[in-house]
Amino acid sequence: MSKLIRTQRVDEYSWEKSLALEASIEDLDLDEVAETIRLSNRLERSGRLSPDDQLHFLQSLQLLKNLQVTNAAIVLFGKEPTYFLPQCRVRIVEFPDGKTGDRYDNTVLIAKNIFRAFRLQEYFQKNIPRLSFFDEVEWRREDRMQFPSRALDEAVINAMMHRDYSYGRSSYHNLP
């Protein structure tokens, strides 16, 4: 019976909904929250909320519990998320010799909330080679990135959204 109760508690546990210890509302980028509300309203993804009603928005998404900040709120909107959750760092590394090489180039460490970290286009614009193609009929050159920017955006978003940010949790899940 005891094992069943512990198993049920493990299944109910959600790292994202757990409180971020020592964090407060002041640790959230409320301007980013307001921008998210504006975008949500434009996309008609939720009821019309005022961008000035950030607390209601955060509570409706369960990012606040009794005005206390959750881990998910820090990951999404934290001013300095790595202060509370060091695992939020994103590292971009170029492997010029492939993944079996022993050299890394252009290492960049990003320690921002997930919305700010998504804005990696400037890195790609600077570091991804540009290819030039010449149109033989119209005699004009077309320049484009080696990899389509939409594909890079999709890869980064997928990697960040499906990442396990909870690696720092206790061994609570390893109960026998």
pLDDT in tens, 23-58: 999 999 999 999 999 988 888 876 788 888 899 999
- DSSP character at residue 174: G
pLDDT tens digits along 72-130? 999 999 999 989 988 888 777 778 787 787 888 777 787 888 877 776 777 777 888 88
Distances (CA, A) of 99 to 92, 95, 104: 13, 6, 9
Segments making up each domain of the chain, as ranges: 2-79
Q: Are 49 and 57 in contact (CB under 8 A)?
A: yes
Structure tokens given for 37: 């509300």
> Looking at the predicted structure, is the pLDDT value of residue 141 above 80?
yes
Model-wide pTM > 0.75 = no
Q: Long-range contact list for 57-61, CB < 8 A, 24+ apart?
A: 57/33, 58/28, 58/33
Give the C-alpha distances (Å, rounded to integers) separating 92 from 36, 82, 107, 117, 156: 25, 16, 6, 11, 10
Name the pairing type of β-strands 64-65 and 68-69.
antiparallel
Asked whether residue 169 carries a pLDDT value surpassing 70, the answer given is no
Higher pLDDT, 172 or 16: 16
| CA Rg value for the chain | 21
